[in-house]
Amino acid sequence: MNKGIHLSEVKEKFTDLQLITEQLGADPVITGINAVETCESGDLVFVSSKEYLELARQRQPAALVVSEKLAKDAAQEDHWGILVTGNVKLAHALIKQEYGGRDFLDTQWERVHPSAVIHPTVDIPDSSFVGPNVVIGQNAKLGERCRLLAGVVIENDVEIGSDCLFHPNCVIGYNCKIGNEVEIGSGTVIGSEGYGFAQDQNRKSHKIPQTGHVVIEDRVLLGACNTIDRATYGQTRIGAGTKTDNIIHIAHNVEIGEDCLFTPMLSVAGSSKFGDRCITSGQTEVSDHMNICNDVVLFHRAGVIKDITEPGMYAGLPTQPLNQHMKNTAHFRKLNELNKKVVALEKEIKKLSGE
């Protein structure tokens, strides 16, 4: 925060969203947002457990955002301000976005850096920023309030919506389409060549040109070093609101639904489809032409080699319902012990049968 604000101003900002249900105690001036463990006297902190509340009592920040369950306990001390919410984590996200996030429009460079290479057919809106060494190709379209940081490459005929943020050295390939409020991490490549080859009688591989494109819908966030391959024909699509972590590969013609959450080292092979609100844990692998329905969670290095048609939690290779996977894993740990018992039983049977 560049200047302090009263806690009541924070409350008013989020009243319409029904995020903050009540304000208790004092109305201090907030000068920063911090973790409970390292907070100082002017800070606002987020408290979701009794342990954190006790730590706040030791550190004495200016104000707390607490759950409804902790509100009465926190209000025993009236020297600090308290905002009560039904969702502390969501309050943390939205309040920090508003008051504590980095302002990427506040840059040390001029609006369009002189080192940027921009084709004459491209119109840069006055509200957008183009950083050092950015390259923008022929007929690319850029929306309002976009921020292209150093080294971003936008190839020809790309369409980009408004309020997008592209981190250093990401690449948007030709003909790709980017929606509104999209954030793309450093080193990520949108529209890389799909992996398609045909082999002749001598097992030599011949490239099948990948001439489709990629569509990234609104509010998508892609982490660093993602690769989203362009389609062979048609499109690869990432649905609105989906968020990916770093180091993820999405192959050609894949379709990802809305509001999915993907963690590192996910690999999705060509033409597979995810429904909405799917979640993957690290190192999940999905084979080609798989169909995964809505509301599926994949755990424990899941390997999808068969369609998943029922919502739920799955794990293992091949994937199986999580409860079944956990039971099988528990038995697997005892294989050596079970083997010894089987060998002993075989000896006893032979002995009893007179062999």
Catalytic residues: 252
Beta pairing, strands 5-6 & 29-30:
antiparallel
Burial group, residue 150, by CB count within 10 angstroms (0-12, 13-18, 19+): middle
Phi then psi for residue 324, to 5 deg, are -65, -40
CA nearest neighbour of 80 among 25, 6, 36? 25
Phi then psi for residue 269, to 5 deg, are -80, 170
Helix (H) / strand (E) element for 53: namely: helix 50-59
8 Å CB contact between 305 and 318: yes
| d(C-alpha 312, C-alpha 255), whole Å | 20
8 Å CB contact between 342 and 335: no
CA distances from 165 to 161, 179, 232, 257 (A): 10, 11, 27, 21
| d(C-alpha 191, C-alpha 253), whole Å | 11
Up-side HSE of residue 232: CA atoms within 13 Å toward CB?
A: 11
CA nearest neighbour of 116 among 139, 148, 138, 158? 148
Q: Give yes or no for a cis peptide into 318 (omega within 30° of 0).
A: yes
| d(C-alpha 332, C-alpha 190), whole Å | 41
CA distances from 275 to 134, 225, 272, 302, 318 (A): 35, 23, 10, 17, 19
Tokens 């994937």 belong to 319
Return the SS3 of 14: helix
